[in-house]
Structures are given as structure tokens and as C-alpha cells.
Amino acid sequence: MFIFTEVEHLVADVGGNNLNNLQTPRPSLVTEVPSGDPIPREVMLIIAASYYNAILQSSGEATLFADNCERRENGMVTAGGEGPGFAGIPMQGCFDQMNSRGLSYITSIDLQRVWIADPVTGLVFSLSHFRHAFETKVLHVYGPDGKLTERKMEYEPFDFPAAHIQKIQNYRISDQEAMGVTRPYRSTNGWSQFWR
């Protein structure tokens, strides 16, 4: 018999159109992987963990994205999908967005726990702690046309504890759902006394 003494929650304040995107799961997230195409659990964990490397290296080559990969954060489509992206720039796919250097404002991704994978559904669940020092106030970002532009980042430092669910099919990340909340810079996660 198991006795649970603690439960971890991550609660985000989501409203408007973003909340509408969370009313029902995307079909791809609840569809089982074809029985003839299972991926070993250990490999799924490696692929999911490499997503964090892609962010920190600003490199789509550091992980394996499907061409149709779509990412949502707190219900907001942030990569893939249709329509305008950040600051009216056309939406980029997961791979191209990594190569754009648009996420290079993320200083580190600490307290990573990529431990849960289900080969039947192709889903991997992970927790992490994004740090944003904002020591650099201007990013140089490549647009969809390859043109290098400046993006001002006049923000105070903060942390972003996050949970990710990633769908892995054919050894590639095809869908991502992320949920996170803003916390003071260099916060702990409630489970470790350390901030890294």
C-alpha cells in the first residue's frame, strides 16, 4: 500500500481565448501510438530532455521536432499553428523558432525532472524551473524571412516554474503543452532547498 504525504501542484491564472484552448485536450495528445511503432521509455525521456537543450543552445538541431510541431503555453499557441506570433511576427514552427534565437532570453533551466513517459500514448511529463535574469535588454532575433532584428526586453528578472507534456511520435516531438507561473527570481521549487 502507498501512502502519499505530499502532492505537487502548479496553478496558472489563464483566461480569455487561452482558456478556450484548454477546454478539451488536442486529439493528438490523447491518441495512442500505433501498436507497431512503440518507442522505448528511456528513449522518450532523452528526446523530451533534449528540448531543454534546444532552448539553451538556441538550436532546433539539438532536439527532434516533427514538421507539424505545435507548442502551447498556458493555452496560448507559441510555436506552430496559424496567425501572428510575438509582436505581430508571423508564427514560426518549433524548429524555426529555436533557430531564430527568440528564446535566448532564458538564462537557465534548472531543477529539471524528466521522469515520466508512457510508450502507449507517446506522452512525456516533465517539470522544470526557467530562470530569466534579463541582464541583456536587447535580443537579436532572426525573423521568418531570415532578417536579423532587435527585440527589446525591458523586464525585471523572474522565474517560471513549468510543467510540460510532450507527444513523441516517430521519434520526434509533435505536440507540446506547457503550464507555468511567474515567481521571484532564483526561487526554489518547494521540493528542493536548492535553486539549481
Q: Cell 521536432 belongs to which residue?
A: 65
What whole-number distance in Å separates Cα of residue 108 and Cα of residue 123? 24
**Signed CA dihedral, 46, 43, 162, 85: sign only:** positive
pLDDT at 20: 87
> pLDDT (tens digit, 9 = 90+) per residue, 2-56?
676 677 778 888 888 888 888 898 998 999 998 877 899 999 999 999 999 999 9
Calculate the dihedral angle through the C-alpha atoms of 55, 60, 64, 66, rounding to the nearest 10 degrees. 110
Average confidence (pLDDT) over 146-173: 94
Domains, the chain, in order of start with CATH, read 35-180 (3.10.450.50)
pTM of the complete model: 0.90
pLDDT at 129: 96
How would you classify the pairing of strands 172-180 and 65-73?
parallel
Q: Average pLDDT over the chain, rounded to whole?
A: 91
